[in-house]
A and B are shown apart, each in its own frame.
Chain A
Amino acid sequence: MTTKSLKILASAAAVAFTATIGAAQAAEPIKIGAFLSATGPASFLGDPEKKVLEKYVAEFNKAGGVLGRKIELTLYDDAGAADKASSFVKRLIENDKVDVIVGGSTTGATMAAVPLVEAAGIPFISLAGAVVIVEPVKKWVFKTPHTDRMAAEKIFSDMKKKGITKYAMISENAGFGKSGHDETLKVQANYGMTLVADETYAPKDPDVTAQLTKIKNTAGVQAVINWGFGQSPAVVTKNYKQLGIAAPLYQSHGVASKDYIKLAGDAAEGVRLPAAGLVVANQLANSDMQKAVVVKFQKEYQADFKAEASTFAGHAYDGLQMALAAIQRAGGTDKAKVRDEIEKTQGYIGTGGTVHMSPTDHMGLNLTAFHMVEIKKGDFVLSD
Chain B
Amino acid sequence: MASTSRWAGLGALAVFLAVLPQVLPNNYYVDVAVLAGFNAIVCVGLNLLIGYAGQISLGHAGFFGLGAYSSAILVTHYGWPPLAALLAGALLVGLLAFAIARPILKLKGHYLAMATLGIGIIISIVLNTEAQITGGPDGIAAGNFSLGGFELKGERAWYWVIAGLLLVTVWLATNLVDSPVGRALRALHGSEVGAEVVGVDTTRYKVLVFVVSAVIASIAGSLFAHYTSQLTPTKADFFKSIELVTMVVFGGMASTFGALVGAAFLTMLPQVLTVFEDYEPIILGGIMMGTMIFMPRGLVPTISAFLTRRRP
Contact = CB atoms under 8 A, between A and B. Distances in A.
A82 B230 contact: yes
A175 B137 contact: yes
Given A83-B232, A83-B235, A95-B29, 20 more contacts: A82-B139, A82-B232, A82-B234, A83-B228, A87-B271, A90-B28, A91-B28, A91-B271, A94-B28, A95-B25, A108-B137, A108-B138, A112-B229, A115-B229, A173-B129, A174-B131, A174-B137, A178-B136, A202-B129, A202-B137
A76 B274 contact: yes
Interface string B15-37: 00000000001111101100100
A203 interface: yes
A83 B234 contact: yes
Interface string A75-99: 0110001110011001101110000
A95 B229 contact: no
Contact of B26 (A94, A111, A115, A203): A94
Nearest to B231: A83
A116 interface: yes
B229 A174 contact: no
A203 B137 contact: yes
B137 A87 contact: no
Sort chain B's interface into a size bin: 20 to 34
26 contacts: A77-B277, A81-B232, A82-B139, A82-B230, A82-B232, A82-B234, A86-B230, A87-B31, A87-B271, A90-B27, A90-B31, A93-B28, A94-B26, A94-B27, A95-B26, A95-B29, A108-B232, A111-B230, A112-B229, A116-B229, A173-B129, A173-B137, A174-B137, A175-B137, A178-B131, A202-B129
Contacts of A111: 138, 230
Sort chain A's interface into a size bin: 20 to 34
A91 B28 CA distance: 5
Nearest to A93: B28
Interface of A: 76-77, 81-83, 86-87, 90-91, 93-95, 107-108, 111-112, 115-116, 173-175, 178, 202-203
B128 interface: yes
Name the prevailing secondary structure of the A interface residues: helix
A175 B138 contact: yes
A57 to B, nearest CB: 15
Interface string B117-133: 00000000000110100
Contacts of A107: 138
A175 B228 CA distance: 18
B32 to A, nearest CB: 7
A202 B138 CA distance: 12
Q: Which 6 A-B pairs have the closest CB atoms?
A: A94-B28, A174-B137, A95-B28, A94-B26, A94-B27, A91-B28
Nearest to A112: B230
Among B28, B29, B136, max chain A CB count under 10 A is at B28
B299 to A, nearest CB: 24
Contacts of A178: 131, 136, 138
Interface string B124-153: 000011010000111100000000000000
